[in-house]
Amino acid sequence: MTELSEEQKHKLAEAERILDYQFSNKQLLLSAITHPSATEGKSVTYSYERLEFLGDSILGAIVAYTAFTSFHELDEGGLTRIKVSLVSGSSLADVASELGFADVIVFGSSETGTGKRGLHSALENVYEALVAALFLDGGIEAAMSFVKRSLIPRMSLDMAKEPENPKSALQEKLQEDGVTPTYKLVETQGPPHDRTFIAQVFAGNKGLARGTGRTKKEAESRAAKTTLERLSEFFGLGMTDEEKAEKTARAEAKATAKAEKSDAKKRKRSERKQSKQGSGNQQQTGSHQHS
């Protein structure tokens, strides 16, 4: 292992403190907390990219096993929804942020002055990379201990109710009213090696919710999920029968008031017209009498 800077030494020590684990192979830990911007010109083994790939699979297996052994009555669909929700980018980034990983990531100079725009995705990546590093250094027990302490407490039966595929669920819901949702990439943030995408859902020309993700697909999925949660706000969908009845009554009352106002205007126009005609006839009669 090459000689470390003071920053690297400090961040390694802080990472071990957060993880409550001492690494035999410090290089594994250093790679897991190192952003690709800090390893330009070096091998990919010096950043978290390869470890993230392995960590994703290990994390998925741990979460799947825990859900399987915790919720005996759930079918495959429910278990899958729990897993997808728990290992989503936003979930991992939130956990990593709460643990304090933002202070241990080693960024390169290219990120200086950018406000670390890719921090959200970096937090997610580092969490997965650390799971892999723990697995490689201390076996499945070390990885599982960390995941059970930091992520599993968020697991709940309610996650089984969330749509596995928000985009499909939204399309199915909106098409009941003849609406087909479309998606548009509205913004791209961060450097090429660490992009963050922002997508928005549209119903015709009506812009609905936005979503952020590491990929366009993830951004669209999050936008769809947020739209599903706010359907009643956008379209009045997903409401109870009482809420629908109340909304219908308000709409009918509004339509009736509008019709009455329109009729009143027509009557006034008609009365004015008749008044003008009557006045014109009187003038004609007066002129005939005068002649």
- Per-residue pLDDT of 130-163, as tens digits, reads 999 999 999 999 999 999 999 999 999 988 886 6
pLDDT-derived band at 114 (thresholds 50, 70, 90) equals very low
Give the mean pLDDT of 44-70.
Answer: 92
Residue 232 has pLDDT above 50, yes or no: yes
124 is an active site residue: no
The dihedral through the CA atoms of 169, 175, 176, 179 has a sign that is positive
pLDDT-derived band at 238 (thresholds 50, 70, 90) equals very low
**Rounded Cα distance, 61 and 58, in Å:** 5
Phi, psi of 109 (to 5 degrees): -65, -25
**Which class is domain 183-232?**
alpha beta
Strand partners, 200: 184, 210
Beta strands in the chain (DSSP E): 181-189, 196-203, 206-213
Q: Which of 52, 111, 128, 218 is catalytic?
A: 128
Strand order, beta sheet including 196-203: 181-189, 196-203, 206-213
**Rounded Cα distance, 250 and 269, in Å:** 29
Residue 207 has pLDDT above 80, yes or no: yes
**Rounded Cα distance, 83 and 62, in Å:** 10
Cα distance between the two ends of the chain:
122
Domain 183-232 in the same topology as domain 6-161:
no
Q: Where are the domains of the chain?
A: 6-161, 183-232
Options 3.40.50.300, 2.60.40.10, 1.10.1520.10, 1.10.150.120; CATH for 6-161 is 1.10.1520.10
Nearest to 190 by CA among 142, 126, 123, 119: 119
State residue 241's pLDDT score. Answer: 57
The dihedral region occupied by 115, where left means phi > 0, alpha psi between -120 and 50, and beta the remainder, is left
Q: Which of 52, 56, 111, 137 is catalytic?
A: 56
pLDDT-derived band at 178 (thresholds 50, 70, 90) equals confident
Residue 60 has pLDDT above 80, yes or no: yes
20 is an active site residue: no
State residue 279's pLDDT score. Answer: 61
State residue 215's pLDDT score. Answer: 83
